[in-house]
Amino acid sequence: MTTRLNPYLGFRDEARAAMEFYRSVFGGELDVSTFADFHASEDPAEQDKVMHSQLETPGGLVLMASDTPASMSYTPGDSFSVSLSGGPEDDAELHGFWDGLAAGGTVVEPLSTAPWGDSFGMVKDKFGVLWLVNIAGTSG
User: For residue 61, what are the contacts with CB-CB under 8 A and spacing of at least 6?
Assistant: 26, 28, 55
Q: Is residue 19 part of a domain?
A: yes
Q: Which domain holds residue 58?
A: 8-67
The enclosing domain of 48 has a CATH number of: 3.10.180.10
Same domain, 35 and 12: yes
Nearest CA to 95 out of 106, 105, 85 is that of 85
Please indicate, yes or no, if residue 2 is contained in any of the structural domains.
no
Q: Are residues 61 and 90 in the same domain?
A: no
The domain tally of the chain equals 2
pLDDT confidence of residue 78? 60
Decide if 49 contacts 37 (C-beta within 8 A). Answer: no
Q: How far apart are CA 12 and CA 18, in angstroms?
A: 11
Which of the four pLDDT bands, split at 50, 70 and 90, describes residue 3? Answer: low
32-84: pLDDT as tens digits: 999 999 888 788 888 999 999 999 999 999 999 999 988 888 887 666 789 99
Tell me: the pLDDT tens digits for 82-121?
Answer: 999 999 999 999 999 999 999 999 999 999 999 888 999 9
pLDDT score, position 43: 84
Indicate if the pLDDT at residue 26 is higher than 50: yes
Q: Do 109 and 59 share a domain, yes or no? A: no
75 domain residue, yes or no? no
Mean pLDDT for the chain?
90
pLDDT of the residue at 6: 86
pLDDT at 10: 92
What is the per-residue pLDDT for 111? 97
pLDDT tier for residue 140 given thresholds of 50, 70 and 90: very low
Task: Produce one character per residue of 3-18: b if its CB has 16 or more CB atoms within 10 Å, e if not.
Answer: eeeeeebebebbbbeb
